[in-house]
């Protein structure tokens, strides 16, 4: 603890109390009669006007810290040790009135789900105005100030928005309102807990930009909490890395991510594909083992059981916080060697032979459309999709919510019947519109790994039942052949035989997803749809699943349709990319072409919206809301938000066809590709 102050004590000298000082914080939850430490001995300080990031995976305790700061822990939680100080005030010792004053003036908070943070039965204007009323303004004045404030968070037509109810706002708009509410009282400390996690990439980029602009304008310190390292890198001056309730590393954000000095940070960064890393560059690394079970702290370093550098002393006594550079600390005995952390996963990846040229289509989709009708409204989820899947390739499917990615996957699987007129061919034979109209071999050929294994695995069945089902039902195996194939499959997803008797809830998220993958491969499929297969998982688990998918593809020669909102993952795994917007294909092409450009203006916007760890980003600003699929814009569906819209008006009136601009690279844009290349080179 003595070394602690040396690390981040640069504010102590100035005399005035820092905006935030957390010292030796322990938070305990009482669960089923026993105490569990969720936050252990956490200390950090935030300086005036500083943006401090807390980053960690699920179970790291990052949200618990925020709740403790606002003194809003759930009834079973309490601060069991340590002190908090916000400008010298300690919220833990306050009486009711002081606590109310503290919450109204000193600290504000924005959190993940903006839709749920707003009261559904009170108008937006009244809710924001309340903050001013607490501060003593009359209702009329409060409403006037609210109008100004909503303008400040870039809400167009504030007066109209104020009369609305929260459900009438889009996610991005709702989050602006929540942010407005949080900054209304000009708090000294603004806590942001995963403020953009629930938003689409382009909306996230807008909200982050707004926050950066507000910060520059206001005299506020930020505590920014996220699981997303790149968002933290973009938004924060300094960062603290939390693991299992402990702050394992701290320092200037850029320095920590460029040159991590704790094995956990090192491992975490190796799990994320960076700087255009692709599967043929080698595997991602992963972190072995699991989080310690809640309430069971090892006697030594909390990370030691999963650390490949760990020595005897690491397991015996917790390491002190060591100063590793200016303003940097690492809670590790071996911080000097952290960068030399051995890999958990060997780099070499047995890639199969590359797809056998462009002319071996396994699935051909032509003119596929899907219209849903709900409450008398017709929603065009997919419009005229034509696409080819080559044998053994991975086609990445990207797009924001409402783009039709999942609908396309479900139509391919036969779970949703497409509109008449569209056609799906599998190996030269037409696939029926529904499962009932498909033969057993066709069923066998197309399988899926769903996003959320909790939903995809029947929680009443054992792992054995779950994995055996496709073997008996689709592959027609029984007896010794079944047992042999089952053992084989379990090995190939790197699980153990003893886990066969368990039920899903007894498995961790990563293991559950392995079961789902084994089930998808059980029948010997030709095509496996991977629908956001890692988005429900933590970063350290995600890498292992991606490696597994790549290995299985090499071994089984399957084709993947890989759906993800995470462009880094798509780039890592895919051979080709298809970009969807409002149910239409905007661009299809080889991965490096699509990422490298020239690309469709929408792709360009999507790519530049993604925060990157190295912080380099040339942002194309998208304006306006994503239009409703029930009422798509005329002409090119993207024209309402397109930064490169042509002045001639053709974008509004005519729909550009999907044409082959370069070999294998198709675009749906009125601007010729060489023009696009010039525009995008200029940025």
Number of residues binding to another protein, judged by CB under 8 A: 103
Site for another protein in 627-646 (CB under 8 A): none
Rounded least distance, CB 680 to another protein, Å: 26
For residue 644, how many C-alpha atoms fall within 13 Å in the half-sphere facing its CB? Answer: 22
Output 183 or 309, the one with its CB closest to another protein.
183
- How many CB atoms within 10 Å of residue 570? 23
559 forms part of the interface with another protein (CB under 8 A): no
* Interior/surface letters 607-646, b for 16+ CB within 10 angstroms, e for the rest: bbbbbbbeeeeebbebeeebbebeebbebbbbbbbbebbe
Q: Tell which positions 493-552 bind another protein, by CB under 8 A.
A: 505-508, 516, 519, 523, 532, 535-538
Least Å from the CB of residue 59 to another protein = 4
Nearer to another protein, 282 or 294 (CB): 294
Residue 19 contacts residue 47 (beta carbons within 8 Å): yes
Q: Is 74 in the site for another protein (CB under 8 A)?
A: yes
Query: Which positions from 305 to 344 touch another protein by CB under 8 A, shown as an x/- string?
Result: ----------------------------------------
Q: How far is the CB of 2 from another protein (least distance, A)?
A: 29
Q: Does 167 bind another protein (CB under 8 A)?
A: yes
171 to 230, contacts with another protein by CB under 8 A?
178, 181, 185, 194, 197-200, 227
First vs last C-alpha separation in the chain? 49
Cα–Cα distance measured from residue 297 to residue 176, given in angstroms and rounded to the nearest whole number: 40
The binder of another protein chosen from 8, 29, 89, 328 (CB under 8 A): 29
Residue 400 engages another protein in binding (rule: CB under 8 A): yes
Q: Would you call 650 exposed, middle or buried from its count of C-beta atoms within 10 A (0-12, 13-18, 19+)?
A: middle
Quick one: 255 or 473, whose CB is closer to another protein? Answer: 473
Number of other CB atoms surrounding residue 322 within 10 Å: 19
d(CA 285, CA 260): 15
Q: Which of 95, 120, 357, 663 binds another protein (CB under 8 A)?
A: 120
Residue 217 Cβ, how far from another protein at the closest point, in Å?
Answer: 22
Nearer to another protein, 406 or 574 (CB): 406
By CB under 8 A, residue 380 contacts another protein? no
Q: Whole-number minimum distance, CB 244 to another protein, in Å?
A: 8
Report the side by side order of strands in the sheet with 665-667: 446-449, 527-531, 559-563, 394-398, 576-581, 584-590, 665-667, 659-662
Verify binding: residue 112, another protein, rule CB under 8 A. Answer: yes
Is the CB of 332 or the CB of 507 nearer to another protein? 507
Other beta carbons within 10 angstroms of residue 32's beta carbon come to 7
Residue that has been written with the tokens 């998208």 in this structure: 622
Classify each residue of 239-261 as buried b or exposed e, where b means 16 or more C-beta atoms within 10 Å of its C-beta: bbbbbbbbbbbbbbbbbbbeebb
CB atoms within 10 A of CB 478: 11
By CB under 8 A, residue 591 contacts another protein:
no
CB of 32 to another protein, least distance (A): 8
Provide the minimum distance between the beta carbon of 143 and another protein in the complex, in angstroms, as a whole number: 16
Which of 352/432 has CB closer to another protein? Answer: 432
Instruction: Return the residue of 7, 18, 77, 82 that touches another protein, per CB under 8 A.
Output: 77
Binding residues for another protein restricted to 444-483, rule: CB under 8 A: 446-448, 450-452, 455-461, 469-470, 473-474
CB of 476 to another protein, least distance (A): 11
Whole-angstrom CA distances from 308 to 289, 315, 550, 627 are 11, 12, 24, 49
Contact region with another protein (CB under 8 A), list: 83-91, 122-130, 270-278, 665-673: 122-130
Residue 232's SS3 state is helix
Give CA 447 to chain center in angstroms: 24
Nearer to another protein, 52 or 132 (CB): 132
The three-class DSSP label of residue 394 is strand
Distances (CA, A) of 60 to 57, 64, 321, 534: 6, 9, 18, 19
- Rounded Cα distance between 552 and 634, Å, is 43
């Amino acid at each position: 603890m003595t070394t602690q102050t040396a690390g981040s004590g640069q504010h102590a000298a100035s005399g005035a109390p820092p905006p935030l000082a957390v010292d030796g914080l322990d938070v305990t939850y009482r669960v089923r009669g026993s105490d569990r430490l969720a936050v252990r001995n956490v200390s950090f300080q935030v300086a005036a006007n500083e943006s401090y990031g807390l980053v960690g995976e699920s179970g790291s305790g990052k949200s618990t810290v925020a709740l403790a700061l606002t003194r809003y822990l759930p009834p079973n939680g309490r601060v069991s040790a340590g002190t908090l100080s916000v400008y010298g005030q300690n919220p833990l010792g306050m009486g009711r009135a002081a606590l109310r004053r503290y919450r109204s003036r000193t600290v504000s908070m924005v959190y993940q789900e903006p839709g749920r943070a707003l009261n559904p039965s009170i108008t937006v204007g009244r809710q924001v105005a309340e903050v001013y009323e607490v501060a003593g303004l009359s209702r009329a004045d409060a409403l006037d100030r609210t109008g100004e404030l909503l303008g400040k968070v870039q809400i167009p037509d504030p007066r109209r928005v104020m009369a609305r109810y929260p459900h009438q706002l889009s996610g991005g708009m709702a989050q602006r309102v929540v942010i407005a509410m949080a900054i209304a009282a000009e708090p000294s400390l603004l806590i942001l807990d995963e403020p953009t996690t629930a938003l689409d990439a382009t909306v996230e980029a807008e909200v982050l930009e707004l926050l950066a602009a507000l910060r520059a304008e206001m005299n506020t310190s930020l505590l920014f909490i996220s699981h997303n390292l790149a968002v933290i890198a973009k938004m924060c001056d300094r960062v603290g890395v939390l693991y299992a309730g402990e702050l394992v590393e701290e320092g200037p954000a850029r320095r920590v991510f460029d040159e991590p000095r704790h094995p956990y940070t090192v491992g975490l960064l190796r799990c994320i594909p960076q700087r255009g890393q692709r599967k043929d560059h080698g595997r991602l690394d992963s972190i072995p083992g699991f989080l310690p079970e809640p309430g069971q702290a090892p006697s030594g370093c909390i990370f030691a059981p999963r650390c490949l550098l760990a020595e005897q002393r690491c397991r015996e006594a917790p390491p002190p916080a060591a100063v590793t550079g200016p303003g940097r600390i690492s809670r590790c005995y071996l911080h000097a060697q952290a960068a030399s952390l051995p890999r958990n996963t060997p780099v070499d990846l047995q890639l199969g032979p590359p797809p056998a040229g462009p002319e071996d289509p396994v699935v051909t989709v032509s003119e596929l459309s899907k219209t849903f009708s709900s409450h008398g409204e017709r929603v065009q989820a997919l419009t005229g999709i034509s696409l080819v899947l080559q044998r053994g390739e991975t086609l990445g499917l990207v797009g924001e919510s409402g783009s039709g990615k999942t609908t396309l996957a479900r139509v391919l699987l036969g779970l949703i019947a497409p509109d008449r007129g569209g056609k799906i061919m599998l190996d030269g034979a037409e696939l029926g519109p529904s499962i009932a109209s498909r033969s057993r071999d066709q069923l066998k050929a197309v399988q899926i790994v769903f996003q959320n294994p909790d939903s995809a695995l029947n929680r009443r069945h054992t792992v054995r039942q779950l994995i055996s089902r496709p073997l008996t039902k689709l592959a027609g195996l029984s007896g010794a052949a079944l047992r042999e194939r089952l053992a084989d499959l379990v090995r190939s997803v790197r699980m153990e035989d003893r886990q066969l008797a368990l039920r899903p809830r007894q498995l961790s998220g990563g293991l559950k997803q392995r079961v789902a993958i084994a089930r998808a491969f059980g029948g010997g499929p030709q095509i496996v749809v991977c629908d956001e297969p890692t988005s429900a998982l933590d970063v350290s688990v995600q890498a292992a699943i991606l490696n597994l998918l790549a290995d299985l593809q090499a071994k089984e020669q399957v084709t993947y349709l890989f759906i993800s909102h995470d462009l880094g993952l798509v780039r890592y795994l895919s051979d080709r990319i298809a970009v969807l917007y409002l149910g239409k294909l905007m661009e299809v092409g080889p991965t490096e072409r699509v990422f490298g450009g020239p690309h469709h203006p929408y792709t360009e916007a999507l790519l530049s919206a993604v925060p990157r760890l190295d912080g380099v980003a040339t942002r194309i600003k998208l304006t306006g809301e994503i239009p409703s699929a029930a009422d798509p814009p005329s002409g090119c569906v993207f024209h309402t938000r397109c930064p490169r819209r042509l002045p001639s008006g053709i974008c509004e009136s005519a729909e550009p066809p999907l044409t082959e601009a370069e070999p294998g690279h198709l675009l749906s844009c009125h601007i010729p590709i060489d023009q696009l290349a010039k525009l995008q080179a200029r940025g």
